[in-house]
């Protein structure tokens, strides 16, 4: 609990050690974490999800199911069977190439969490990779009344795109992570996806948080060695609270980004979050 409200981290990776990582989350003041499907094994069937839910945890930890079997982007998982046990569906770093599958799952009314940037090149100019991907998803969302949440946006062009989409009445939500409003690529040379940006990206992310374009701050926690430790539970609350000290967000707004909005997003997808 933090100043009287629980902290929800909407984007984490626990791999194959739920007890250890939930303990670190708890020690750092995080009450609820939502973990992605790329555990070991991948969470792509009800049986695997139930097994994952039986593992010991030190804070509330809600799984996200894969959208497709084996995260391969080919065949949808059994959505109706699985949906009551998970916060939502995501293929995370293995973004969904097949937009027909995205449309199909959005039509089910479940929460879909979409990675904003593929982990490999697909013939799109690098500086705009993220924004282009979000645009692809938005084009699908225009045609269906689904629940789409875009994960960890990092670029000014993406903030501008989402702001415009929201103004035009498209319903979607999005998140950023503390490293995207704290460091430029000149500050830290780390390999991370999406990559750190420039000063103008940091400014745009802060503006997006402040004007409500960006709904949520999430950590994208991933156990070492994958991410060099930049996306962590330890810095999650201090760096987020830094936005209040800096005057970017009010305390009320921070509460929205860390509790109220993530809760609304999870419950909007049909999951009952008992806190």
Q: Write out the catalytic residue numbers.
A: 220
CB of 169 to Zn ion, least distance (A): 28
35/249 with CB nearer Zn ion: 35
Name beta bridge partners: 184.
197
155/249 with CB nearer Zn ion: 155
Query: In this structure, which long-range contacts are made by residues 171-174, counting pairs with CB atoms below 8 Å and at least 24 apart in sequence?
Result: 171/141, 171/145, 171/147, 172/138, 172/141, 172/148, 173/148, 173/149, 173/215, 173/216, 173/261, 173/265, 174/116, 174/149, 174/150, 174/213, 174/214, 174/215, 174/216
131/151 with CB nearer Zn ion: 151
The answer to whether 17 and 51 are in contact (CB under 8 A) is no
Q: CA–CA distance from 156 to each of 127, 146, 180, 189, 249 (Å)?
A: 11, 25, 11, 20, 18
CB of 36 to Zn ion, least distance (A): 5
CB of 164 to Zn ion, least distance (A): 25
CB of 66 to Zn ion, least distance (A): 13
Q: Which residues bind Zn ion (CB under 5 A)?
A: 92, 220
| Gyration radius of the chain over CA positions | 17
240/249 with CB nearer Zn ion: 240
């Amino acid at each position: 609990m933090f100043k009287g409200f629980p902290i929800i981290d909407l984007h984490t990776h626990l791999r194959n050690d739920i007890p250890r990582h939930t303990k670190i989350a708890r020690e750092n003041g995080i009450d609820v974490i939502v973990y992605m499907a790329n555990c070991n094994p991948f969470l792509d069937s009800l049986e695997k999800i139930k097994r994952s839910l039986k593992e010991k945890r030190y804070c509330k930890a809600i799984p996200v199911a894969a959208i497709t079997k084996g995260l391969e982007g080919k065949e949808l998982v059994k959505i109706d069977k699985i949906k009551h046990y998970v916060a939502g569906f995501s293929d995370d770093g293995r973004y969904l190439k097949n937009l027909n599958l995205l449309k199909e799952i959005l039509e089910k009314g479940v929460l879909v969490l979409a990675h904003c940037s593929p982990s490999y090149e697909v013939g799109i100019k690098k500086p705009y990779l993220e924004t282009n991907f979000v645009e692809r998803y938005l084009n699908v969302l225009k045609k269906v009344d689904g629940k789409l949440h875009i994960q960890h946006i990092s670029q000014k062009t993406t903030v501008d795109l989402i702001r415009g989409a929201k103004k035009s009445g498209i319903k979607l939500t999005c998140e950023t992570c503390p490293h995207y409003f704290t460091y430029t690529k000149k500050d830290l040379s780390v390999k991370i996806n999406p990559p750190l940006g420039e000063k103008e990206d940091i400014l745009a992310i802060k503006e997006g948080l402040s004007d409500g374009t960006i709904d949520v701050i999430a950590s994208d926690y991933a156990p070492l060695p994958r991410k060099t430790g930049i996306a962590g539970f330890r810095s999650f609350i201090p760096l987020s609270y830094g936005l209040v000290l800096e005057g970017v967000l009010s305390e009320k707004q921070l509460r929205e980004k860390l509790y109220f909005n993530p809760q609304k997003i999870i419950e909007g997808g049909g999951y009952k979050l008992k806190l």
